[in-house]
Amino acid sequence: MTTLRNIKTFSLGLMIVLGLAAQSKMSHAQELKTLTVAGGCFWCVEADFEKVSGVKEAVSGFAGGQVANPTYKQVVKGGTGHLEAVQITYDPAQVQVSTLLNMFFRSIDPTDAGGQFCDRGQTYTTAVFATPDQVSAANAAKAAAQADLGQTIVTPILTADTFYPADGYHQDYYKQSAIILTRFGPKSKAKAYKAYRAACGRDARVKQLWGGAAPFAGS
């Protein structure tokens, strides 16, 4: 009887431990948050932030427009009001939103109101789409960036709106092996992305602006 009682006690204890562990995992998963930013070409912003510790995923898409479920062709043609944007899913226990925002401002040219680098037009302008609990951190990050840079920052802090993911062709573009025909000749998407990023002058301009404070230039 004693042995049976001990087995039952052990089994009950094990079930409790496993239950608490499962509950902890579920609670941890529910704590994940998102931050949506627009920084010009969404391939580049996605590639940058997926390298950040604590970021679980970065998805290329569109935000800030008036048309539901826009296509890439609609957005780049203009008239939908959307910006190319990236939604960053992160674990606030591992990285704070203030850190992500500070990195964002130093990964773009926030003085340029006409687009970003070689990509011109409203679609490629910059913005932070802040949720109510992110507005204070976003304004603080913008103020700090302006103080550090010593130039007027034109990147607006906007109210978070519906985010529409781009189609699969654009997701993880920087690491895809599929061969495509580019102006540089046939290349994998990964190599085409690197060639585009260099030719567009993104890293060169960011280094010029931010120097050693640029977190991703050259990535």
- Catalytic positions: 41
Q: At what angle do helices 97-105 and 135-149 cross, to 10 degrees?
A: 40
| Among the listed residues 114, 138, 129, 142, the one whose alpha carbon sits nearest the alpha carbon of residue 40 | 114
| H-run or E-run covering 26 | helix 2-30
Exposed / middle / buried, residue 108 (Cβ in 10 Å: 0-12, 13-18, 19+) = buried
In Å, how far are 3, 62, 89, 132 from 189, measured between CA atoms?
Answer: 64, 21, 24, 37
- Beta carbons within 8 Å of 126's beta carbon, 6+ residues apart: 37, 38, 39, 40, 83, 108, 109, 110, 112, 116, 154, 155
Cα distance between residue 42 and residue 40, in whole Å:
6
